[in-house]
Amino acid sequence: MDGDPGRRLATLLEGVTVGDPGPIYVRSSGNRAVYFLLAPGSTKLSDWPDGMTCFNRGPNRVCYVPLPAVGGGTWPLAWWFPPTGPDDFVHPLLLRNAGLAVLK
């Protein structure tokens, strides 16, 4: 999600999850995108609102999502909330519903 709406969404998720929304990272340049990491395959189960872009693999689609290093040094990408373990992801339904609230 690009720019200020993405940052508002990340802040909303931080609040409703008491500071543990799952892994979220930001891009400091260009469109200032905010990325929310979800478990593989979890985005295909929902319709996503306009303004939220899902990166999925599928027929005739290639997806490459750059990730920042956990220790830094990957400007312009940086973790807002770094992953805490191998199974740490943003919850897709929570993200979708929070995105609907931010984008209305």
Residue 60: pLDDT band with limits 50, 70, 90? low
Q: How far apart are CA 58 and CA 101, in angstroms?
A: 28
Tens-place pLDDT, residues 43-55: 876 788 888 988 8
Q: What's the pLDDT at 61?
A: 67
Candidates 30, 24, 29; CA nearest to 67 is 24
Q: How many Cβ atoms sit within 10 Å of the Cβ of residue 82?
A: 14
The pLDDT of residue 58 is above 90: no
Q: What's the pLDDT at 41?
A: 82
Residue 69: pLDDT band with limits 50, 70, 90? very high
The pTM for the full model equals: 0.90
